[in-house]
Amino acid sequence: MSVTAAAGFDAAGVAAGIKRTGALDLALVVNRGPLTHAAAVFTSNRSQANPILWSKQIIADGRVDAIVLNSGGANCFTGSEGFQVTHRTAEAAATALGISAGDVLVCSTGLIGEQLNPEVLEEGVLSAVDRLAATVDAGLSAARAIMTTDSAPKTVIVEGGGAHESGGERKGKGERDEGKRVSRDAGAAATSSTFTRDQTTGWRIGGMAKGAGMLAPGLATMLVVLTTDAVVSASDLDAALRAATRVSFDRLDSDGCMSTNDQVTLLASGASGIAPAAADFTAALTSACRDLAQQLQTDAEGASHDITIEVRGAATEDDAVEVGRAVARNNLFKAAIFGNDPNWGRVLAAIGTTRAPFDPYLVDVSMNGVRLCHAGAPDAPREAVDLTPRATHLLIELHAGEASAMIWTNDLTHDYVHENSAYAS
């Protein structure tokens, strides 16, 4: 039920006609309060889409009543005409909802450099307002409406108490390695029925995400909306969101390409009447973000391996992240994994491009539990590694300190090239 899992939120997803296919392409999420606190983080790309420019202004006061999201066009590099389209979209929602356009965020995703038709968006917004509901279906429709090349909607629910459910409708692209998952709160196994609103005894976080390519730090081509009925101030929401995204979406680096449209938004209604401790809220939010990040990784365009790069023994966490990213962006390594080739030399060549302190003759490299390189020299034979499972674990031990980090990426495949060479057509 995604964003409607938390009390106080209505949602809708409609086919506004932006996509030629007639698929759902416009989502609306409305915070019915009593609180309308909000926080957001944005792409660090300096080429920013019009909805990013708009939303950065809107979020400044920490109040958001509604958010409109469209797929089918990024509204980026569309000049002042494009900014007007974003503005008109927010105005349409505000008028229909009886709120201020200054409290309406807008997100867009799709091809850069194409004008969106403002009338189509306005009509879509009106249609979405008509269908607003707090139901499971409404939340799922919203999650579907933001999809581009995603193969399935991505949703998550985290109970303040610890239970956790993710992506009920996700299509399996292969086995998930639950043993390697980072988040998963401890607690009772959650089922859908656990999360009907009547049974709520605490507070919740619900969320939806889209993104299946251009997944790189400073976010990714991702749009994420997280909702909570916890009582949290706007400034605490901001702190929690920055802490959570730093170790989740910002550790996802599918293809090294940073988008112009990324936005992660967190809305708080306070409808549960419960004010959790900041640490508890941040932990639950981090769990939700990690879950969505891993759904994005699993659905990355054309990927045949989900690669967890674990860097241990770095001098600092920043060093560990830099090393992990360098490997995650190495096309030769990624192509080798596609071919089930445990080519650890390419890992070391990538590490050598970083500024992280390390001695090439102390480094160990393991894949899927087999140590292939010890102290900078060959160790186990390549044949000992089985790279046929989709879940791939690369462990780099730098022996330069005590810090560690994980980066999630994918392999470089024929399908990646195909999907991205045909995207605009």
Region 265-304 residues binding its own copies, contact defined as CB under 8 A: none
Cα 64-65-71 angle, rounded to 5 deg: 85
Specify the residue, 114 or 177, whose C-beta has the smaller distance to its own copies: 114
Rounded Cα gap, residues 284 and 228, in angstroms: 10
Q: Report in angstroms how near the CB of residue 346 gets to its own copies at its nearest.
A: 7
> Residue 169 annotated as binding?
no
Residue 221 is labelled as binding a ligand: yes
- Using CA atoms, how far apart are residues 244 and 252, in angstroms rounded to an integer? 13
Q: What is the token pair recorded at 412?
A: 């470089």
CB of 348 to its own copies, least distance (A): 5
214-233: contacts with its own copies (CB under 8 A): 214, 218
Nearest Cα to Cα of residue 290 among 164, 390, 189: 164
Does 389 help bind its own copies (rule: CB under 8 A)? Answer: no
Rule CB under 8 A: say whether 373 interacts with its own copies: yes
Cβ-Cβ contacts under 8 Å for 52 (sequence gap 6 or more)? 42, 43, 260, 261, 262, 263
Comparing CA positions, the residue from 6, 73, 3 lying closest to residue 265 is 3
DSSP 172: P
Q: Which of 60, 186, 277, 424 binds its own copies (CB under 8 A)?
A: 424
Q: Determine if 213 is a binding residue for its own copies (CB under 8 A).
A: yes
Examine residue 352 and tell whether it contacts its own copies (CB under 8 A).
yes
Residue 417 sits in the site that holds its own copies (CB under 8 A)? yes
Q: Which structure tokens are listed for 194?
A: 């656990």
Interaction between residue 129 and its own copies (CB under 8 A): no
Minimum CB distance to its own copies smaller for 174 or for 352: 352
Contact between 262 and its own copies by CB under 8 A: the answer reads: no
How many residues make contact with its own copies (CB under 8 A)? 67
Nearest approach, Cβ of residue 331 and its own copies (Å) = 5
Which range in 21-29, 55-63, 289-297, 347-355 contacts its own copies by CB under 8 A? 347-355
Choose between 174 and 378: whose C-beta lies nearer to its own copies: 378
Instruction: Considering only residues 60 through 99, tell me which ones interact with its own copies, judged by CB under 8 A.
Output: 74, 76-79, 81-82
Tell me whether residue 210 is annotated as binding: yes
Nearest to 81 by CA among 128, 37, 114: 114
User: Interface with its own copies includes 402 (CB under 8 A)?
Assistant: no
List the one residue out of 32, 41, 27 whose CA is nearest residue 9.
Answer: 32
Among 176, 354, 371, 401, binds its own copies (CB under 8 A): 354
Q: Which is nearer to its own copies, 195 or 358 (CB)?
A: 358
One of 34, 174, 187, 360 touching its own copies (CB under 8 A): 360
Asked if 189 interacts with its own copies (CB under 8 A), we say no
Q: Give the chain's count of helices (H) and strands (E).
A: 10, 16
**Do the bridges between strand 66-70 and strand 104-108 make them parallel or antiparallel, or are there none, so unpaired?**
parallel
Query: Does position 412 bind its own copies by CB under 8 A?
Result: yes
- Nearest approach, Cβ of 271 to its own copies (angstroms)? 38
301 annotated to bind ligand = yes
* Phi, then psi, of 403 in degrees rounded to 5: -85, 155
| Closest approach of its own copies to the CB of residue 368, in Å | 16
- Is residue 338 involved in binding its own copies (CB under 8 A)? yes
Provide CB contacts within 8 A for 378, sequence distance 6+. Answer: 372
Q: Which DSSP symbol is given to 57?
A: H
3-state secondary structure at position 303: coil
Of residues 102 and 256, the one with the C-beta less far from its own copies: 256
Determine the residue type at 413.
T
Tell me, what amino acid is at 153?
P
Contacts of 108 (CB under 8 A, 6+ apart): 49, 50, 51, 69, 70, 71, 73, 74, 75, 76, 86, 116, 261
Among the options 4, 221, 265, 392, which is catalytic? 221
β-partners of residue 345 are: none
Q: What is d(CA 318, CA 308) in angstroms, rounded to the nearest whole number?
A: 17
* Nearest-angstrom CA–CA distance, 271 and 15: 30
The answer to whether 228 is a known catalytic residue is no
Restricted to residues 14-53, the positions that interact with its own copies (CB under 8 A) are 45-48
Residue whose pair of structure tokens reads 């080739």 in the numeric block? 341
Instruction: Tell me which residues are annotated as active site.
Output: 221
Per CB under 8 A, residues contacting its own copies are 45-48, 74, 76-79, 81-82, 111-115, 213-214, 218, 255-260, 329-332, 335-336, 338-339, 341, 343-346, 348-354, 358, 360-361, 372-373, 375-378, 382, 412-414, 416-418, 420-425
Mark the binding-site residues, compressed into ranges. 148, 210, 221, 301, 420, 425
